[in-house]
Amino acid sequence: MLNETQIGDVWLLFADYIDKKVIDSVAERYVELLADFGVTDRILNGATGIDGALDSAIEYYLDEESDDDEIDDDDCNEEEEDY
C-alpha cells in the first residue's frame, strides 16, 4: 500500500502531463482508485498539502464518504423506528 509521500510523488510525476482542463477530474479518479485499492482515509488525509487539485479531490472524496456514512446511519434509524 502507498503511504502519504508516495501518493503525492506519483501524482506529481503525472500531473505536469495532464491537460489543465481535465486535471480536477483526473485527480478525483486517482483518489477513487487509491481508495479502491485499500488506501485508508487517514492516509489520504495525510497526503494533502502537495498539490491543489489533489487536495480538492481528497477533500471531495472524504466529504462524500462522510455523507454516505450519515445516510447509512439515517437509514438504520428509520428501520429501527418501523418496529
Could you list the mean pLDDT of each consecutive 10-residue stretch along the chain, which spans 83 residues? 95 97 98 97 97 98 81 58 56
- pLDDT for the residue 14: 97
Contacts of 44 (CB under 8 A, 6+ apart): 7, 31, 34, 35, 58, 61, 62
Would you give the distance in Å from CA 16 to the centre of its chain?
20
- pLDDT for the residue 80: 60
Given phi > 0 = left and psi -120 to 50 = alpha, else beta, which region is 49? left
